[in-house]
Chain A
Amino acid sequence: MNEETTTPNRRDFLKNAAALAGITVAPGILLYSVSQAKPADQSVTSEQRWGMLIDVTQCTSGCDECVKACTVEHGLTEATRPEIAAHWIRKVGLRDKQTGQEYSLPVLCQHCEHPPCADVCPTGASFKRADGIVLVDKHICIGCRYCMMACPYKARSFIHETLENQKPYSPRGKGTVESCNFCVHRVDKGKNPACVEACQQAGHEAMIFGDLNDPYSKISEKLKIVKSTALRADMRLNPGVRYQGL
């Protein structure tokens, strides 16, 4: 595995100059909660960059609570054939070819800073929100599947058949492509994504979600002290999802 240690982006300190100034007048804890939740009437800004840290040492191989929670949250149903089923998050088991060490970890859309899916999408249906969340606009996706060809993580699914029982907050549709959206509907309300919540409820604490731009967020604090790595770090896509202990 490419062992590239992640350090918080230096630029972010400059970007957050305003936020940093606020610390001197307000208690740190208040600042933390302010940067986590976004009032509904405010538009998304690049002041935040949402990210996730997955602690592989805390993830157990038999557990798939995160996958189940995602399936329920977004109404992902069984498909006619397993090969065409939609997967927003999946569990993967790995063995190091050199050392034989085994790992178990969830893989989801890595929410890259430079997402190849958004680069190749002809209509701009695939895009990155200002706060770093990579999304598909289902209304202008023409279903060309070029983004699926471009994604290095195989994080996307094409909907091959008619869907029923959809969740109003998570629109999906036959003939379009979809992938993990970091539970954007929950994040906008200041909540954690469903997978993170499920992992915590199962007592594993293998996933932390938060604002990478906020130097005092739990995720940033932890990233400062632990060694973490990005999948396919060689491609320099700067994913928002990082792995610890891989």
Chain B
Amino acid sequence: MKNMVYRELEGNSPGYYGLLGISAILVALGLFAAYNMEHHGHVITGMTNQIVWGMPHIFAIFLILAASGVLNVASIGSVFRKTFYSPLGRLSALLAITLLIGGLSILVLDLGHPDRLLVAMTTYNFKSIFAWNIYLYNGFLVIVAVYLWFMMERRMQRYYPVAGLVAFIWRLILTTGTGSIFGFLVAREAYNAAIMAPLFIALSLSLGLAAFILILLTDCTETHCPLGEGILHRPKSLLGVFVAAAFYFVLAYHFTNLYITERHGIEYFILVGGGIYTFLFWGGYLLIGTLLPLILIYHPQLNQSRKNITLAAVLVLIGGFSLLYVIIIGGQAYPLDIFPGMEVTASGFFDNSPVHSYVPSHWEIMLGIGGIAISVLLTTLALKILPFLPASLADADLDPQLLD
């Protein structure tokens, strides 16, 4: 492979400033929402004492998963020595950092006491998987930053595969940690399952790659850089594999639950009688987020169009978001079984509701979008300051073998 040339974004076009402006406004709106949630309390959200994690958590976990998954592109380049992906390593690592910062910002701003961030950073209960996650996230930021530096600094390039390996392993642990936040909740029927961790890993790979493909495509229309068909072909097929893998774990998760008699209630709720959750599972996740993208990716005629690939990536993101909504909100909407074998006839605290209702307020959605905007803003600025992008993504420049 010939030596890659990297460049900064010129960043003078109206499109660039437009993107910068819009994301800055959305960040401001997100911060305004967070300010209001802190000032008035969570009374202004749709959350209750039954549904304690709402829309912000969906956005946050979505971004955190995508952050860990997006790094996969760099890993394929450095850990698995696929030179073809190497030129994209810098962008991949940058996105891992910015997406994670966006996701964590939402999580922190949604706390009852965001002002106590310092407490969270200094007072630890080491038995808490949440506390581990704080370490995992901070560690991830540091490790990926070092990895990025080794990639960009010629003198450090010898160490770059080692850094890549560390980042790769760290990322797997990180997503295991994120999945285990739910997997370790022994009291909740929807969550108490070890399979949550691999499910989250598979989901992170598909979300991360979909996000990466979209950003790559946007970037190249924006800057008119040549983007070869070959470079799209491989991640496209890989996306199909990841989407199928996530589906496999979702399938295994539901089969396990269907086998365990005491979980039939929650399974019926999600798969048949859960209203919005059932709809989002079949329509949002399965049809829009899994089947359609797979068709677009594998159909020999359909998959020739760049528009279809873009569409497939968008659908994968929508599907992942829907699945997270079903898992996180649906899992809480289904009441806890505190009295097995008993029917609750009366309760002063909603134990007798067949389902807990949740309607997200606009503040929560604003905060979530604000988090995405933080990621976009940081990425856009970084691309202008440092050379993250290959000068050309034309097939011949990346990998001459592609032309064969």
Chain A residues near B (Cβ < 8 Å): 1-2, 61, 64, 67, 79-81, 83-87, 90-98, 102-104, 107, 116, 118-124, 140-146, 148-154, 156-162, 174-177, 231-232, 234-235
Partner of B41, one of A140, A157, A162, A177: A162
What 0/1 readout, one digit per residue, does chain B (38-51) give for beta carbons within 8 Å of chain A?
A: 10111101011110
Interface secondary structure of B, over-half rule:
loop
Question: Restricting to B85-143, which residues have a CB under 8 Å from any CB of A?
Answer: 111-113, 116-117, 119-120, 123-125, 127-131, 134
Alpha-carbon separation in the docked complex, A192 to B41 (Å): 33
Alpha-carbon separation in the docked complex, A175 to B108 (Å): 13
B38 A116 Cβ-Cβ under 8 A? no
Instruction: For the complex formed, measure the closest distance between the CB of A84 and the CB atoms of chain B, giving whole angstroms.
Output: 5
Q: Which residue of A lies closest to B350 (CB)?
A: A83
Given A92-B347, A95-B345, are A142 and B111 also a contact pair (CB < 8 Å)?
yes
Alpha-carbon separation in the docked complex, A160 to B364 (Å): 14
Alpha-carbon separation in the docked complex, A94 to B346 (Å): 7
A149 B345 Cβ-Cβ under 8 A? no
**B336 CB within 8 Å of chain A:** yes
B346 A93 Cβ-Cβ under 8 A? yes
Q: What would be 11 A-B contacts, judged by CB atoms less than 8 Å apart?
A: A90-B348, A91-B348, A96-B342, A119-B128, A122-B130, A123-B119, A152-B186, A161-B42, A162-B41, A232-B187, A235-B186
Partner of A87, one of B111, B124, B349: B349
Note all chain B residues with C-beta closer than 8 A to A156.
Answer: 49
Given A148-B52, A149-B188, A152-B186, are A1 and B128 also a contact pair (CB < 8 Å)?
no
Interface secondary structure of A, over-half rule:
loop
**B300 CB within 8 Å of chain A:** no
B125 A124 Cβ-Cβ under 8 A? yes
Note all chain A residues with C-beta closer than 8 A to B352.
Answer: 92-93
A-B contact count (CB 8 A): 188
Instruction: For the complex formed, measure the closest distance between the CB of B349 and the CB atoms of chain A, giving whole angstroms.
Output: 4
Of the four ranges (under 10, 10 to 19, 20 to 34, 35 or more), the interface on chain B belongs to 35 or more
Alpha-carbon separation in the docked complex, A102 to B41 (Å): 39
Note all chain B residues with C-beta closer than 8 A to A103.
Answer: 342
Given A64-B348, A81-B48, A145-B53, are A121 and B125 also a contact pair (CB < 8 Å)?
yes
The 3 closest A-B pairs by CB, nearest first: A143-B112, A175-B112, A93-B346
Partner of A142, one of B120, B336, B348: B120
* Best-surrounded residue of B40, B47, B48 (most CB of chain A within 10 A): B48
Note all chain A residues with C-beta closer than 8 A to B185.
Answer: 120, 149-150
Partner of B340, one of A1, A104, A177: A1
Note all chain B residues with C-beta closer than 8 A to A83.
Answer: 48-50, 350
B128 A232 Cβ-Cβ under 8 A? no
Note all chain A residues with C-beta closer than 8 A to B112.
Answer: 141-145, 158-159, 174-177
B120 A160 Cβ-Cβ under 8 A? no
Question: Restricting to B330-362, which residues have a CB under 8 Å from any CB of A?
Answer: 332, 336, 338-352
Instruction: For the complex formed, measure the closest distance between the CB of A239 and the CB atoms of chain B, giving whole angstroms.
Output: 12
Given A84-B49, A92-B351, are A154 and B125 also a contact pair (CB < 8 Å)?
no
Alpha-carbon separation in the docked complex, A161 to B123 (Å): 25
Instruction: For the complex formed, measure the closest distance between the CB of A23 and the CB atoms of chain B, giving whole angstroms.
Output: 38
Alpha-carbon separation in the docked complex, A102 to B50 (Å): 25
